[in-house]
Every structure is written in C-alpha cells, then in structure tokens.
Amino acid sequence: MPVHHPEPERLMEYAAGAASPAMDVLIAAHLSLCPTCRKTVERLERMGGHMLESLGSDEDVVSMSPGAFDALLEKLDLPEEAPQAAAGDEIDPLPGVDLPAPIRETLRNLERPLEWRNRGKGIEEAEIPLPVDVDDSVRMSLLRIQPGRAVLEHTHDGGEELTMVLAGGFSDEHGHYVRGDVQTGDDELIHKPIADEGEVCVCLAVVEGNLRFTGPVGRVLNLFMRT
C-alpha cells in the first residue's frame, strides 16, 4: 500500500473536477492503488455535494452529475490483479508492467505508439500527448530508469512535478518510493532520484512549469533545454 500521497489540495481539485487532464490521470491512477486516498476523495466529494445542496437553486452553481463519483469508485475498487487490458488489444504499451487502468486507457487512446527518447545513461522518457487546448506548460510522460541509475540533480521552476511509481522504486534525499507512491516536487525541492537495484523503475510524471538541473553539468544542460 502506498505511503507517499498527493497533497490534500490535489485530492480536493480531483474531487471537485478541477484537476488538469494530466493531473486527473495521475491522481486516478494513485487512487486505484491507494484505499486511503480513495476514502479521502469520497469524503471530499460527498462534502461538496452537501455544500451544493445547501446552496439550493443558486443560478451560479453548477450541480454535479449524481452517482458519477460512485461509479468511478466501483471501477477503482476492482482487485489490482484483475486484467485491465480490454480483449483484442494488440499492443501492450509497457510489457511486463501492471499499469493502473487510468494510465492504460490513456495510452490505449493515443494516435501513435509511445516514442522513447534517451535522457541520460540508463534513462528513457516517452512524452504522452495532451489535448491541444491544454496549457502547454504542463507535460505528462513516462520514465524508465535502469536499476541503480540516477536522474541528474534538479529542482522545479514555475510549478510542481508529481511523480508516481508504477514499477520498481527509487530513493532520494527525502525518502524511498515504490509502486503507487507519489512524490511532489517544487522550487524548494532539490533532489537526485536513484532507481532501486534489481528492477527497472517506471514512473508517470506530470510537470507544471520546467525542470531546472543543478550542479555544473546541469547548468550546461539547462542552456540546451531553453527554447
């Protein structure tokens, strides 16, 4: 069971239907593996429903679809080991990785296969396209980090980075993260994630703003990343 969770504000955004499309996928994936956060979101949704009811027929209030969240919870409550790929799927987007249903569905709907790019020795990234009307400062991608490999030390400018572990695990100066765990990084976090030995670390990352690498090598790389 995950021990590192999204910030409460992120769960509130999700429960209110106010999360960005990328953040919506990540939070839904975490909920599929985390009964603690599922219960929290359910309470938040119910609280929001009661608040809307107390406002009566205020014309400025848009009511939520009744039962929509309960229907989502029923899907999320499926056993984790239950098959998540629909019959007839021809391509497994990440062979050997038991993807949470929200991520698998997102990848299934892509117009073209994932394109993996080298991001350093033993590190690959595949960006997941977002709708064209989404803020272009938000990026969603999958990361594959080979056992024992480290991501360059970095921090975050102009927003947050949420990283959810899908397989394997990683450690940094702030803790150890395994399947289902979510780490939140902002401009106050400087870290150097290192993948656990023995298994490839696969993560889903949602980045608002930009990564900024630190250290001598990182400062050089930042020059090439500017557009």
Residue 94 domain-assigned (yes or no): no
Count the domains in the chain.
1
Residue 156 lies in a domain: yes
Give 71-81 pLDDT, tens digit per residue.
Answer: 544 544 444 44
Predicted pLDDT at 168: 97
Residue 136 lies in a domain: yes
Cα separation, 21 vs 105, whole angstroms: 13
pTM of the model: 0.75
The edge-to-edge listing of strands for the beta sheet with 201-208 is: 117-118, 123-128, 138-145, 201-208, 161-167, 182-185
Is residue 216 included in any domain, yes or no?
yes
| Model confidence pLDDT, tens digit, residues 82-113 | 334 443 344 677 888 999 999 999 999 888 88
Domain that holds residue 147: 113-225
pLDDT digits (tens, 9 = 90+) for 126-157: 999 987 666 677 899 999 999 999 887 766 66
Helix, strand, coil tally for the chain in percent (to 5): 30, 25, 45
pLDDT of residue 214: 58
Residue 66 — very low, low, confident or very high, per pLDDT cuts 50/70/90?
low
Question: Could you tell me if residue 211 is inside a domain?
Answer: yes
Better-predicted residue by pLDDT, 226 or 113? 113
* In a domain? residue 68: no
Query: Is 173 among the domain residues?
Result: yes
Report the CATH number at residue 197.
2.60.120.10
Residues 98, 80: Cα–Cα separation, whole Å: 9
